[in-house]
Structure 1
C-alpha cells in the first residue's frame, strides 16, 4: 500500500499550495508549542518547529510521509509574528517601509515507516517600497492580513507594497516551498510527475 501524504497544518494557504501538485493528501493539526527557545535564531526556530509539527503526527499516521512547515519574518534581526490586529500590522509595515526583510520557511518531511527525517530552511527576501501612513492604512483595510507573518499577503493585494522579491521559490513566501518539497518527496520515492 502506498504511503499517505499528510500535511501537518490546518493553514488554508499551505493547503492551497500543496493542491498545486495535484497529489492526494490530507491535512491534520499538529499540537506543537511554538514558543522560541532562549537564544534560538530564526533559522533554528523554523527548522525545529517544522520537524516538530511533522513529528507530532507520526504515531497517528504509521504509513505516511508527513510534511511540516513553519515560517517567520525577520526585520532588523527581530522575529515578527502574525500581527493579529490592525495596530500591530500597521507598526510592522511602517517598520518595513523602504527596507528589505527576510522570511525563513522551515520545511520537514518525515517518513513514519522508516523514521527518516529530511529538513531545510529556505530564505526569501522582500524589498518594500517607501510606504506612507495612508498607503499602509489603505492596504490593511482592504486585505486585513492579520494572520500572516509580516502583515501582508504576497499572493494578493500585498504585491503593491513591494519593490522586488528575491528567492528560490515564491511559494516559500506564502508558507510552503514546493520546489524543495518535490525534491524531498522524490528522495522518499514519491514522485509528483
Structure 2
C-alpha cells in the first residue's frame, strides 16, 4: 500500500486524520489561495484541495496525498479566516440569526497512477441571534482567528449555533472523515 501524506500544516486536520489510526506524514504545500474572479465557494474549495495535493506530488512520488481546503459562505459572500479580532467580530455579527454554509474540498491524489479524486462536502450552521457582548466574550475566550467563520465547533463555538445540518460534522472542522474513508477504501487502503 502506498504511504499516506496529508498536504496540510493544520493541526486540526492532523488531529482528525489521526482518528483513523493510519500511519501518515504531513507537509505544508505552498500554493496561492487567492480566489479567481467570480469563483464560487464550492469551486474554490475543490480547486484548492486538489492544488494542495498536486503541489507536493513531485516531492512525494508513490504516495497517496490528501489535500483539503475549506470555504465558508454567507449568501454569496465567501468568508475567509479572519486573522484579527475586528474581522472575526464582523463575521460573527453578520452571521447572527443567519445560516453559513461550509464547503470542504477534499482531494486524494495517487501519485503512482496519477488519479486524483476530488469532492466537496457541505455543512450548514444556523446561528443563534448573537449580541455584541456574546460575540466579544466568545472571541476573547477562544480566539478563533485562524478559523473560517470565526469559531471552533470543537470548542465553545458550538454555543453560537441554533442547529447544524450536514452528513459529516468533521467536515466542519476541516477534513471530512466519512468521505475521506470512501476515497481511501477505493484506493485499496485497509482501515481498521
Match of 1:97 in 2: 96
**Residue 39 of structure 1: CA displacement?**
1.4
**Residue 161 of structure 1: CA displacement?**
0.3
Report matched runs for 1:1-193 at 5 Å.
2-193=1-192
The superposition leaves residues 2-33 of structure 1 with CA deviations (integer Å, 9 ceiling, x where unpaired) of 31100000100000000000000010011110
Q: For 1:60 and 1:87, locate their aligned partners in 2 and report how far apart those are by CA, in whole Å.
A: 39
- Over the aligned positions, Cα root-mean-square deviation in angstroms equals 0.6
Q: For 1:12 and 1:115, locate their aligned partners in 2 and report how far apart those are by CA, in whole Å.
A: 27
Q: For 2:181 and 2:103, locate their aligned partners in 1 and report how far apart those are by CA, in whole Å.
A: 18
The superposition leaves residues 94-122 of structure 1 with CA deviations (integer Å, 9 ceiling, x where unpaired) of 00000111000000000000001101011
Query: Secondary structure of the residue that 1:16 maps to in structure 2?
Result: helix
The superposition leaves residues 44-65 of structure 1 with CA deviations (integer Å, 9 ceiling, x where unpaired) of 1110100000001111111100
**Residue 76 of structure 1: CA displacement?**
2.1
**Residue 159 of structure 1: CA displacement?**
0.6
> Structure 1 segments of 4 or more deviating over 6 A?
none
Q: For 1:151 and 1:113, locate their aligned partners in 2 and report how far apart those are by CA, in whole Å.
A: 38
Total equivalences in the alignment: 192
Query: Secondary structure of the residue that 1:141 maps to in structure 2?
Result: helix
Q: For 2:148 and 2:85, locate their aligned partners in 1 and report how far apart those are by CA, in whole Å.
A: 13
Query: Secondary structure of the residue that 1:59 maps to in structure 2?
Result: helix
Q: TM-score with structure 2 length normalisation?
A: 0.99
Query: Secondary structure of the residue that 2:182 maps to in structure 1?
Result: helix
Q: For 1:186 and 1:3, locate their aligned partners in 2 and report how far apart those are by CA, in whole Å.
A: 12
Q: For 2:76 and 2:36, locate their aligned partners in 1 and report how far apart those are by CA, in whole Å.
A: 16
